[in-house]
């Protein structure tokens, strides 16, 4: 697993999911928070293997591709790792994409099942009708979908998923254009992120999914899960929404895009949060980075 101090990756861990589950000590501490919901580390550790067994008992097999269309970071973390633990290949889709684009991405990915939620279901269920998706699993009340809770019930007991080849088997499937990310690639991503921002149990990292590519969004959640920090999602893309989340959750780090950095740097109101580590997904403006340091006392660096 990743070491919280050095960011080193143990060679025994073939998958990020295995590394994440191995790091799930800490009892009731928060793993992910979003939209007023909190996912604890103990709950995550219980739910992922149970949901993985439930997926397999609902017919999901090794190598099947699952489209993941979720806007809530708590649900996203559970869905990606449950699918991976079942031996499937998660294909996370942009949460705000329209239905016609989602259908094209599902077909490009070769998705055979879909995991969605109440916030995204209207678009992803419509897209599934124009795709090869055979089964839909959902967080919350989504007509026509198997509830995630039923997967947990079906997954009671034991059962083993196929063991992937970390160097050859896909751990994520990205679309537009299609790209398979192996388990080794995902661990390398995590190693790179850990080298840029070392997090500990007292840290809270805040990020809006609209500010980063979906691969980065998933990677940041994983980084927090492995290093013991809490990940706080921001549902709305506005700069003021991000500032409110920083204060609400007591953030110590945040990830933004270059445009959001500029909006925060030159915000006309008072910014009461100081000492934040800011990582920018893209090339940060030198002027904006300097303004953040001078006006807010923030350190700014690019996200690798």
Structural domain of 198: 184-302
Domain assignment present for 98: yes
Shared domain for 238 and 266, answered yes or no, is: yes
Q: What is the CATH number of the domain that holds 294?
A: 3.40.50.980
Domain assignment present for 127: yes
Shared domain for 236 and 164, answered yes or no, is: no
Shared domain for 205 and 298, answered yes or no, is: yes
Shared domain for 99 and 193, answered yes or no, is: no
The sign of the torsion formed by the CA atoms of 54, 59, 65, 66 equals negative
CA 94 – CA 104 distance, rounded (Å): 12
Shared domain for 194 and 296, answered yes or no, is: yes
Domain assignment present for 60: yes
Shared domain for 206 and 230, answered yes or no, is: yes
Q: Which of 131, 152, 181 is the last residue of a domain?
A: 181
pLDDT tens digit sequence for 273-292: 788 999 999 998 999 999 99
Q: Which of 129, 148, 181 is the last residue of a domain?
A: 181
Domain assignment present for 191: yes
Shared domain for 193 and 163, answered yes or no, is: no
Mean pLDDT of 27-37: 91
Q: What does the pLDDT read at residue 269?
A: 67
Shared domain for 156 and 197, answered yes or no, is: no
pLDDT tens digit sequence for 75-110: 999 999 999 999 999 999 999 999 999 999 999 999
Shared domain for 46 and 166, answered yes or no, is: yes
Q: Which of 128, 146, 181 is the last residue of a domain?
A: 181
Domain assignment present for 283: yes
Shared domain for 172 and 47, answered yes or no, is: yes
Residue 13 above 70 pLDDT? Answer: no
Split into its structural domains, the chain has a count of: 2
Shared domain for 243 and 210, answered yes or no, is: yes
Question: Which of 57-66, 74-83, 153-162, 175-184 has the least mean pLDDT?
Answer: 153-162
Q: What does the pLDDT read at residue 262?
A: 92
Distance of CA 187 to the CA centre of its chain: 14
Shared domain for 146 and 207, answered yes or no, is: no
Domain assignment present for 15: no
Contact 94, 100 (CB under 8 A): no
Question: Taking Cα atoms as reference points, which of 8, 4, 6 lies closest to residue 187?
Answer: 8
Q: Identify the band that residue 304 occupies on the pLDDT scale cut at 50, 70 and 90.
A: confident
Domain assignment present for 14: no
Domain assignment present for 110: yes
Q: What is the mean pLDDT of the chain?
A: 90
pLDDT tens digit sequence for 192-219: 888 888 899 999 999 999 999 999 999 9
């Amino acid at each position: 697993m990743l070491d919280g101090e050095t960011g080193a990756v143990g060679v025994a861990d073939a998958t990020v999911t295995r590394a994440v589950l191995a790091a799930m000590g800490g009892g009731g501490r928060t793993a992910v928070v979003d939209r007023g919901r909190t996912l604890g580390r103990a709950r995550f550790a219980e739910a992922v293997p149970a949901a993985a067994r439930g997926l397999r008992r609902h017919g999901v097999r090794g190598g099947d591709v699952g489209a993941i269309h979720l806007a809530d970071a708590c649900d996203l973390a559970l869905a990606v790792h449950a699918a991976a633990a079942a031996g499937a290949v998660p294909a996370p889709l942009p949460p705000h994409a329209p239905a016609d684009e989602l259908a094209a991405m599902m077909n490009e990915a070769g998705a055979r099942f879909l995991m969605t939620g109440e916030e995204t279901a209207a678009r992803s269920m419509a897209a599934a009708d124009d795709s090869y998706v055979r089964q839909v699993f959902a967080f919350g009340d989504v007509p026509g979908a198997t509830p995630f809770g039923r997967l947990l019930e079906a997954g009671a007991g034991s059962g083993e998923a196929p063991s992937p080849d970390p160097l050859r088997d896909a751990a994520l499937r990205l679309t537009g254009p299609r790209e398979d990310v192996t388990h080794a690639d995902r661990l390398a991503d995590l190693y790179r992120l850990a080298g840029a921002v070392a997090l500990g149990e007292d840290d809270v990292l805040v990020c809006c999914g609209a500010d980063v590519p979906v691969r980065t969004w998933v990677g940041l959640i994983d980084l927090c899960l492995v290093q013991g920090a809490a990940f706080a999602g921001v549902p709305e893309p506005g700069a003021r929404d991000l500032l409110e989340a920083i204060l609400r959750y007591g953030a110590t780090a945040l990830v933004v895009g270059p445009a959001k950095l500029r909006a925060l740097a030159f915000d006309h109101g008072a910014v009461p949060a100081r000492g934040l580590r800011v990582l920018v997904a893209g090339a940060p403006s030198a002027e904006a980075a300097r303004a953040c340091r001078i006006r807010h006392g923030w350190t700014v660096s690019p996200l690798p």
